[in-house]
Amino acid sequence: MTKVEDKNEEIVDSLSEAPAKPKKVAAPKMFKLTIAAEDSAEGRSDVFVGYNYHSYLIQRDKEVIVPEGVIEILRNTVVDTVGADKAPIKIPRFNLTVSAA
Per DSSP, what are the bridge partners of residue 65? Answer: 32
**Containing domain of residue 76, as a range?**
21-100
Q: Is residue 13 part of a domain?
A: no
Question: Does residue 32 fall inside a structural domain?
Answer: yes
Residue 9, in any domain of the structure: no
The confidence score (pLDDT) of residue 40 equals 86
- Please report, rounded to a whole number, the percentage of residues in the chain having pLDDT higher than 70: 80
Q: pLDDT per residue over 37-58, tens digit each? A: 999 888 899 999 999 999 999 9
What is the enclosing helix (H) or strand (E) of 20? none
Determine contact, residues 57/47, Cβ cutoff 8 Å.
yes
Number of domains in the chain: 1
Lowest mean pLDDT among 20-24, 45-49, 64-68: 20-24
Looking at the domain assignment, is residue 88 inside a domain?
yes
Residue 74 in any domain: the answer is yes
